[in-house]
């Protein structure tokens, strides 16, 4: 199971974390989550030139903003992540879950 957590402040996404694996035979779902993780982080860093802290370990990806105020500038990109994850949860609920932590 891949567990995704969206961290929100004032209803704005300010960080996200994905943790876990889907298990053998379901790697395509895990790859879909990873693709969203990397695509959103790389878009924020390279196209918007906004500094983030990214933690990558086996089965874990976490993105945080160095300056949370910059999260406002890329909410559309972060919403793509949220919608993409929600789509995966709807399609593969046995392999992906999402929770929202409001600050």
* Domains of the chain listed by start with CATH number: 2-102 (3.30.70.1490)
pLDDT digits (tens, 9 = 90+) for 78-100: 999 999 999 999 999 999 999 99
Predicted TM-score of the model (pTM): 0.93
Check if the beta carbon of residue 52 is closer than 8 Å to that of residue 16.
no
- At 37 the pLDDT is 98
- Which DSSP symbol is given to 97? E
Distance (Å, whole) CA 18 – CA 47: 22
Provide the H-helix boundaries in 1-103.
27-42, 75-91
Check if the beta carbon of residue 19 is closer than 8 Å to that of residue 33.
no
Side-chain half-sphere CA neighbours of 37 within 13 A: 25
pLDDT digits (tens, 9 = 90+) for 40-71: 999 999 999 999 999 999 999 999 999 999 99
- Which DSSP symbol is given to 48? S
């Amino acid at each position: 199971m891949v567990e995704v957590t969206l961290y929100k402040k004032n209803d704005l996404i300010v960080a996200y974390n994905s943790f876990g694996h889907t298990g053998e035979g379901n790697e395509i779902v895990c790859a879909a989550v990873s693709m969203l993780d990397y695509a959103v982080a790389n878009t924020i860093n390279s196209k918007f030139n906004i500094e983030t802290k990214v933690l990558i370990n086996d089965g874990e990806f976490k993105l945080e903003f160095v300056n949370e105020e910059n999260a406002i500038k890329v909410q559309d990109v972060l919403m793509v992540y949220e919608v993409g994850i929600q789509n995966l949860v709807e399609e593969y609920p046995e392999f992906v879950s999402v929770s929202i932590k409001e600050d």
